[in-house]
Amino acid sequence: MTVINNRYEFVYLFDVENGNPNGDPDAGNTPRIDPETGFGLVTDVCLKRKIRNYVDVVKQGAEGYNIYVAEKGVLSQTREPAYKTEEVQKLKKKDEQIAAARNWMCANFFDVRTFGAVMSTKENNCGQVRGPVQLTFAKSIEPIVPAEVSITRMAVETSKEAEAQEGDNRTMGRKHIVPYGLYRAEGFVSANLAQGDKGTGFSDADLELLWQALGGMFDHDHSAARGKMSPRGLIVFKHQDALGNAPAHKLFEAVTVTRREGDGPARSFTDYAVAVDKGAIPDTVAVDVKF
């Protein structure tokens, strides 16, 4: 596979309708929110989890596309095969073994090759990998107003609970939702961290799979808690080389999302207008609106 030669940045838009896009376990699993501004937040870790799950579904463990940070995984056991390879076992020096094991992990695990990983623990030390792909927290375009909805369960777990409620097996619960929110995340793809002896080997094929995941990952992540989540835009900036031809923040500023005229809170993507100011983007940076 050909390692990427160009630097990229991208803007990713997605929305949620009557769901909780990323609950905060420290706040009763309510939607994450900036307490000072009221804007909704979705962590980069949450988005990376969905990308990992999508790749796992699509590739089904194909060679080079395993997932290191898998759900219910035991990381030290996942790294163990790296130390059983002939290349690592024939080496005598510890630092050489770690370097060889690191390269094996990059070659075999998509998420290590893409996002990097800290694997420098005592057991099966594979060093640290700085990934070429990074994401910011996603932030809602406007402040959100989470709603708490009461729900009823018509059954109880044990006969003891049923006796205590004298045959009335209804129990009450609550769901936290965002009625509607459009979120924006920004991302970076560094060719320098993919290339060379210390690079991860992140390839053009890996990059295409990343774009594919951003477009399809919500289709494989539906749940009662998350409601309806949909990708709404992916604007990719491609530089002419690995160093890049414009500051990332200037490219991000060229993408604007504004409310269309109308009364009341936003309740659908059509309430917003997305624009790319191509006049603010140098000719040395190509713009690709993927969806």
| pLDDT, position 289 | 96
pLDDT digits (tens, 9 = 90+) for 37-63: 999 999 999 999 999 999 999 999 999
- Residue 167's pLDDT is 66
Angle at 133 between CA 132 and CA 138, to 5 degrees: 150
Measured CA angle at 248 (ends 136, 286), to 5 deg = 115
Measured between alpha carbons, how far is residue 92 from residues 79, 89, 95, 96 in Å? Answer: 19, 8, 9, 7
Q: Where are any strands of DSSP class E within 66-217?
A: 116-119, 127-130, 133-135, 138-143, 147-153, 171-189
Domain residue ranges in the chain:
8-289
Token output for 128: 């640290």
pLDDT in tens, 3-31: 999 999 999 999 999 999 999 999 989 99
pLDDT value at position 150?
86
Please report the pLDDT score of residue 119 as a whole number.
Answer: 97
Angle at 91 between CA 87 and CA 192, to 5 degrees: 65
Low-confidence ranges of the chain (pLDDT < 50): none
Element spanning 234, H or E: strand 228-239
> What pTM, to 2 d.p., does this model score?
0.94
The pLDDT score that the predictor gives to residue 151 is: 85
